[in-house]
Amino acid sequence: MKKTLTILACLFLVAAACTTNENDGTQQIDSTNVIIVDTIIQKSADTTPVTLKEEALQYTPDDEVNLLLFEKFSLGISYAQLKNKISSVKPLHAEDYNEQVGAKGLQESIQDITFLNYKGKLEFNFKQDTLYRYSIVFNEPNEKKGNKLYQQVLTYYNNHLGVPYQPVNIEEDNHYAELNMWYLNPDYLVAVYNLNTGNVTIAAQNFKPGQ
């Protein structure tokens, strides 16, 4: 019996010695690098253009009257008729204070006004006592502000009249002035921005600009 146990023990030791490290039953660890994919969805940049709200022309009730003088009276009236419409209108004098021109029937009335918070001039032009043009002129020396204000004036009239302005191309003026008009039938409403002087002019006249 003792011999049998001794033999079995020897056989067990031999079997254990024959077992290599590679086959000892231990599970091998896979050392291959594992790449983890980032599945977070990147938010794309919003490329939708941002529309800036255009600022509207700011005006007082008195400004509105002056903006729409062409609705208060028609061109072609006499000085006396204009006086009935605008009691504050100044007396007539020869155009440009030139008596020779005045002798040909060209006269004007000019008065100072406050318009859109600017000091301006309101001028009425007569030929043979017939009103053929009036204009409002004011000045904004800052080009950026002047251009912005001019665009606001254009938008105001576009909205009020319900039709867009028509650019007027006058070749000799293109390098220093922007001129646009609306047809009032039979008269014309004109808006001019002089880039050199900063003058903004709003006028109504019975002849087409450039003619």
Mean pLDDT confidence for 43-57? 61
Fold category of 61-205 in CATH: Protein Transport Mog1p; Chain A (3.40.1000)
Please determine, for residue 31, whether its predicted confidence score (pLDDT) is greater than 60.
no
Return the H-helix or E-strand segment holding 16. helix 2-18
pLDDT band at residue 42 under the 50/70/90 scheme: low
Residue 81 has pLDDT above 60, yes or no: yes
Question: Which pLDDT score, from 0 to 100, does residue 26 have?
Answer: 45
Is residue 18's pLDDT more than 80? no
- Residue pLDDT, tens place only, 105-129: 999 999 999 999 999 999 999 999 9
The domain locations on the chain are 61-205
Instruction: Count CA atoms closer than 13 A to 148's CA, side-chain side.
Output: 11
Share of the chain above pLDDT 90, in %: 68
The DSSP secondary-structure symbol of 156 reads H
CA atoms within 13 A on the CB side of 9: 6
Q: Which two tokens stand for residue 45?
A: 């940049």
SS3 (DSSP) at 6: helix
Instruction: Work out the average pLDDT over 181-192.
Output: 97
Residue-wise burial string across 148-157, b where 16 or more C-beta atoms lie within 10 A, e elsewhere: ebbebbbbbb
Q: In which residue are the tokens 């009020």 written?
A: 160
- Residue 23 to residues 31, 85, 185, Cα–Cα distance (Å): 18, 117, 107
Q: Per-residue pLDDT averaged across 51-64, rounded?
A: 83
